[in-house]
Amino acid sequence: MTYDGTAGRAVVTGASSGIGAEYAARLAGRGADLVLVARRAERLDVLAERLRKETGAAVEVMVADLAASADLVRVAERVAAEDVTLLVNNAGINGYGPFTEVGTALLGKVIDVNVVAPTVLARAALPGMLARGRGAVVNVASLLAFAGALPPGPLPHRAVYGGTKGYIVTFTRTLAAELAGTPVRVQVACPGLTATEFHLGTGEAPVPGEARVHEDGGMPAADVVTASLDALESGEVVCVPGLSDPAAVTRLADAELALRAGSGTDTALRHRAVDQARE
């Protein structure tokens, strides 16, 4: 079965700019109606009106901060509705900075937006999708999920952000295995540096003013979405938009299998040898 989000209604979080706005535009152009979720009401209203005029799509706007429990409950209730056939968990904040210097409130918000919200929304969406026999969930992560041991410079200080995106990768891959054989698909999109406004703030508050692109540049958001929707249609669980060799994902799974060989009942000889030398 293929799935490209061209029917029913798609819920897109973080839709007020960047990758989220591109998902919204592309899906509306393919015939999907939309629910757009973000913190910036004015940005959402402008996007919704443009998409209505350009595509004829029915577009709902939900102004919500997914770090706020009451807002998350509202969005989860909408996501669980019968007309939702695609959920794009795109909202995310970075909280960049040295771990010992970033405020704990901001770090908690990073976890709430990047981990708690997509988990809750996927849980809200999937039972109905499974019952109806159709649907998909796309979770937007980051290649920083795979950059744990690399030091900052040129990469950002990202201990918590990278950890949250690592969660999204593992969550999605494991969920895909759980849902194998059902008509419902899940995907994790892992873009690298993307030409959006993401690096213009930490996420504690929305980036003010008109939409713009950070100076670091990167892949156009439209190209990220093209790759993600193509991969969703072809059934790829892990989509890295700039990856030419998809076998790299297979090699990752092979490396994980090798690591799991350490789950036996005996300690590895290299560790036992240390204890024996001390005796």
Query: Looking at the annotation, which residues are catalytic?
Result: 161
Structural contact between residues 194 and 214, judged by C-beta atoms closer than 8 angstroms:
no
Nearest to 119 by CA among 86, 84, 87, 146: 87
Cα of 203 vs its chain's centroid, Å? 15
276-to-9, 39, 176, 263, 272 alpha-carbon distances in Å = 63, 59, 44, 22, 6
Sign of CA dihedral 145, 147, 152, 153: negative
Please enumerate in sequence order all residues whose Cβ is within 8 A of that of 61, keeping only pairs 6 or more positions apart, or say none: 35, 36, 41, 44, 45, 48
- Using the CB atoms, write b or e for 213-226: b if 16+ within 10 Å: bbeeebbbbebbbe
**233 Rama class: left (phi>0) / alpha (psi -120 to 50) / beta:** alpha
Q: In terms of Cα–Cα distance, which of 41, 8, 5 is closest to 26?
A: 5
